[in-house]
Structure 1
Amino acid sequence: MPQKDEGAVHQEGGSAPPHGRRPYHAPQRTEAASKTRAAILDAATRLFLEHGYANVTVPQIAKLAGTAVPTVYASTGGKGAILTSLIEDGLQSTAAGETLALLRQTDVPREVLTAAAHGTRVDNEQHHRIVRVMVSAAHTDQHAAAALARANQAYREALAAVTQRLRELKALRPDLTPTRTTDILWFYLGHHCWHGLVVEQGWSWDTTEEWLAQQVAAALLSP
């Protein structure tokens, strides 16, 4: 037999029962939790870049984030979970979707590749710190290696859509298969190339985007 709801006891005299309890909303708590999570992820990223993923501890992350160790675990989990969160947040970028939409709107092959270069530039510019952490951590941590594999797979799937659009436009050199085309796109537009030219060689993002668009067009398009 169901128990009586103490919050809905009838008053004497036959009066109607009060309304049921309303759900408790705490927007301030939600906002505070969101800020705490962001502080933890930012602190972790900074420490991973400075000291290397393997050399960072959760207490160090908590200290830099200005919170307690149990709060870190409750909000984001351990180091592996933190890294996964960083990567998943990066994969939710809208740049890829916007780029794919642009690909469908143009019938000019060079414009397709210009859009692809710009879209990968935006993603890499926004997330290059996370990519650096992920690549370095993958050598020593299975969570990082798995996360890197997922991120690379999603990246290549987006480049495969570029390949498909170029095939629809019959713009590719006749000797190129779809797989080879996507491999070439990965070679020129993958995160390693952006990192090598911008971070390691000091090129500007604008210069790198323009040069890569030119190079990949020369490599893929029929004369």
Structure 2
Amino acid sequence: MATRRKRVYASPKRDEAAAATRSRVLDAAKTLFARRGIDAVTIAQIAERAGVSGSSVYALFKSKEGLLQALFQEALFGQGYKAASAQLDAEADPVAQIRMTASVARSIYEGEAAELGLLRGASSFSLALRRLEATLEEKRFTLQEARVRHLFEAGKAQAGLTLEKARRLLWMYTSRDIYRLLVLEGGFTPDEYETWLAQTLLTALVVPPPGHSRT
């Protein structure tokens, strides 16, 4: 006897409702995290504010850490990042890719500052936040590797650099700490930060063109 396959029905309305629920939960979590700090907020409190059951929150995000990760994913890698990243991916020249990395970094940190600035202020000592930050830093370091390899393969890397040192320099210059020091605390505009970062990356990583002096 043939086994009957269970039919899966696609429902646009159901999908829209699920997306709306997810959005409400994320908004509720972001508000509560910003007011009370990550560690002081429970799933039950988030569910109550979002008007859903606690089991719905767990079904969507598995845990509070999963919810926090989703918040950061949307803030750091939203539309601004996707647009900057798409332009970088379409660029074949390795030197241009290094320069355009400044735009990618700007999009990440602008999104974070706009969406999660208050949350960070209320949760600066949260272990959950520190663990997530470490994971995101590993992801950023990994994503940058192809650009650096491309630069070396094209023979455009600055003399005296190894691949590993170049990766570390790119990772360091594009760090959140430098954005914070220059833009959030130092008075740089995002445009000024991006211009400075692009030039700094070229100077640190790329061999100067013939006849060009950096003295």
Bin the TM-score by the shorter chain. 0.7 to 0.9
Q: Per-residue CA shift, 1:85-135, capped at 9, x if unaligned?
A: 3345556863575255244x226x2x2322111122223323444598589
Assess if the C-alpha contact under 8 Å between 1:102 and 1:115 holds in 2.
Answer: no
**Among residues 94, 97, 100, which one is paired with 2:82 in the alignment?**
94
Q: Per-residue CA shift, 1:12-38, capped at 9, x if unaligned?
A: xxxxxxxx9965443222211111111
2:171 equivalent to 1:183: no
2:17 equivalent to 1:32: yes
2:137 maps to 152
**Among residues 101, 106, 114, which one is paired with 2:93 in the alignment?**
106
Q: Write the distance in 2 (CA, Å) between the matches of 1:152 and 1:131.
A: 18
Q: Per-residue CA shift, 1:162-195, capped at 9, x if unaligned?
A: 2112212322222211111111111211233223
Superposition CA RMSD, Å: 3.5
Displacement of 1:216: 2.0
Rate the CA distance shift 1:47–1:198 in 2: closer, same or farther, 3 A.
farther
Question: TM-score scaled to structure 2, two decimals?
Answer: 0.74
Equivalent residue of 1:94, what SS?
helix
Assess if the C-alpha contact under 8 Å between 2:148 and 2:167 holds in 1.
Answer: yes
Identity of aligned residues (%): 29
Assess if the C-alpha contact under 8 Å between 1:48 and 1:133 holds in 2.
Answer: yes
Q: What is the number of equivalent residue pairs in this alignment?
A: 204
Taking the TM superposition and a 5 Å limit, the aligned residue runs for 1:123-162 are: 123-128=108-113, 129=115, 139-141=125-127, 143-162=128-147
Deviates more, 1:68-77 or 1:184-193: 68-77
Q: Write the distance in 2 (CA, Å) between the matches of 1:23 and 1:181.
A: 50
Which is bigger in relative contact order (C-alpha 8 A, separation at least 6)?
Answer: 2
Question: TM-score scaled to structure 1, two decimals?
Answer: 0.72
- The runs of 5 or more residues in structure 2 that have no matched partner are 209-215
Q: Write the distance in 2 (CA, Å) between the matches of 1:80 and 1:182.
A: 29
Displacement of 1:203: 2.9
- The runs of 5 or more residues in structure 1 that have no matched partner are 6-19
Q: Write the distance in 1 (CA, Å) between the matches of 2:6 and 2:30.
A: 42
1:74 maps to 59
2:70 maps to 85
